[in-house]
């Protein structure tokens, strides 16, 4: 007499027996059917789901390097809006390169260090920001009111967004005073004048010491037409003038380096005129 347990598993045994006796061709066909079915299911449901989730980039999923205090604009929002990033798919093989290119166009960005895709659709963008070191004080040509304007620049003479600075804040920077200079260039591009760009490189050296030394402005010394290298001078808050000489890194033979001149400046009475190109032995840095 067969047990109830034996009767229970009889259909399963029959099925296994049939599969064992099945032809070899059916054993090959079965995985193929699974693959075809899976492929059809992906195109029917899976592709639609993924495409819906990753067809565009969500700006809330983009994180960037924490900007310094002088960058007050919403960088992600601005770049997303101005570069039509919503049309870019995160599944695009060139997505990281395109995102890097989009952020590199912003005037506050000096360099895009890297872009990474993170789990869940997040995007990490590492940035190096530009830092304002001076304000170029200019007068607009043919302005009947002779109004003055201030253009913020970084140490490379690149124009920065001026609408993010209040008028009172311009006093917190060294002024660059070059007669008859003006620009219509776009922010994020060079100012376009060799004198301004040379003064900007000097401002990058001096800006950390602006308050300590009471520097008011950087100007051009002498006649630029009589020398291959622009010569500059500093005007102090006291009204004293300090002859600086060549821009940093472009010193003529025998001229003290920028660091030697800076050391002389720090030890000089800022209320009296001085020529920083004449460094006393006490100001020479020993190595």
Assess if residue 230 is contained within a domain.
Answer: yes
Residue 96 sits in the same domain as residue 195: no
Residue 110 sits in the same domain as residue 153: no
Q: What confidence tens digit (pLDDT) does each residue in 263-284 have? A: 999 998 988 999 999 855 444 4
Assess if residue 175 is contained within a domain.
Answer: yes
Q: What confidence tens digit (pLDDT) does each residue in 23-44 have? A: 555 555 555 555 655 555 445 5
Mean of pLDDT over the chain: 84
Assess if residue 108 is contained within a domain.
Answer: yes
Assess if residue 15 is contained within a domain.
Answer: no
Question: Does residue 225 register a pLDDT over 50?
Answer: yes
Residue 99 sits in the same domain as residue 164: no
- Name residues whose C-beta falls within 8 Å of residue 118's C-beta, 6 or more positions apart in sequence: 124
- Compute the distance between CA of residue 219 and CA of residue 203 in angstroms, rounded to an integer: 11
Assess if residue 116 is contained within a domain.
Answer: yes
Residue at a domain's end among 87, 113, 129: 129
Q: What confidence tens digit (pLDDT) does each residue in 93-142 have? A: 899 999 999 999 999 999 999 999 998 889 999 999 999 999 999 998 88
Residue 171 sits in the same domain as residue 237: yes
CB 156 within 8 A of CB 201: yes
Residue 165 sits in the same domain as residue 68: no
The domain tally of the chain equals: 2
Q: Taking residues 206-212, report their average pLDDT.
A: 96
Residue at a domain's end among 129, 152, 175: 129
Question: Does residue 154 register a pLDDT over 60?
Answer: yes
Assess if residue 16 is contained within a domain.
Answer: no
- Name residues whose C-beta falls within 8 Å of residue 100's C-beta, 6 or more positions apart in sequence: 112, 114, 115, 125
Residue 125 sits in the same domain as residue 163: no
Residue 207 sits in the same domain as residue 109: no
Q: For residue 243, what are the domain limits?
A: 134-283
Assess if residue 145 is contained within a domain.
Answer: yes
Residue 96 sits in the same domain as residue 233: no
Question: Residue 90 maps to which CATH number?
Answer: 3.10.20
Assess if residue 48 is contained within a domain.
Answer: no
Residue 94 sits in the same domain as residue 165: no
- Compute the distance between CA of residue 115 and CA of residue 61 in angstroms, rounded to an integer: 13
Phi, psi torsion values for 256, nearest 5 degrees: -60, 150
Question: According to the model, what pLDDT value does residue 105 have?
Answer: 94
According to DSSP, the β-strands at 134-139 and 109-117 are unpaired
Outline where DSSP puts E strands in the chain.
Answer: 62-64, 109-117, 123-129, 134-139, 148-153, 174-177, 215-220, 232-236, 241-245, 274-275
Residue 100 sits in the same domain as residue 163: no
Residue 142 sits in the same domain as residue 177: yes
Residue 164 sits in the same domain as residue 276: yes
Residue at a domain's end among 129, 152, 178: 129
Question: According to the model, what pLDDT value does residue 2 have?
Answer: 53
């Amino acid at each position: 007499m067969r047990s109830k347990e034996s009767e229970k598993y009889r259909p399963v045994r029959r099925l296994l027996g049939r599969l064992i006796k099945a032809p070899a061709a059916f054993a090959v066909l079965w995985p193929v059917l699974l693959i075809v079915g899976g492929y059809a299911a992906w195109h029917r449901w899976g592709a639609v789901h993924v495409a819906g989730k990753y067809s565009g980039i969500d700006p809330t999923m983009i994180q960037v390097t924490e900007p310094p205090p002088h960058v007050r604009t919403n960088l992600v929002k601005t770049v997303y809006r101005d570069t039509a990033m919503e049309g870019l798919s995160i599944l695009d093989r060139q997505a990281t390169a395109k995102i890097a290119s989009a952020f590199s166009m912003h005037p506050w960005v000096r360099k895009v260090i890297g872009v990474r895709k993170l789990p869940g659709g997040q995007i990490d963008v590492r940035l190096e920001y530009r830092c304002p070191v001076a304000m170029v004080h200019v007068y607009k040509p043919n302005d009947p009111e002779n109004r003055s304007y201030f253009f913020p620049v970084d140490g490379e003479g690149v124009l920065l967004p001026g609408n993010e600075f209040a008028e009172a804040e311009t006093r917190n920077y060294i002024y660059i005073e070059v007669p008859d200079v003006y620009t219509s260039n776009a922010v994020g591009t060079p100012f376009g004048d060799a004198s301004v760009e040379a003064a900007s490189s000097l401002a990058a050296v001096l800006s950390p010491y602006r308050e300590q030394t009471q520097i008011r402005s950087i100007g051009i010394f002498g006649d630029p037409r009589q020398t291959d290298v622009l010569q500059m001078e500093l005007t102090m808050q006291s009204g004293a003038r300090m002859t600086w000489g060549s821009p940093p890194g472009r010193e003529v033979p025998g001229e003290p380096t920028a660091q030697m001149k800076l050391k002389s400046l720090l030890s000089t009475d800022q209320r009296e005129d001085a020529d920083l190109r004449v460094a006393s032995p006490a100001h020479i840095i020993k190595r």
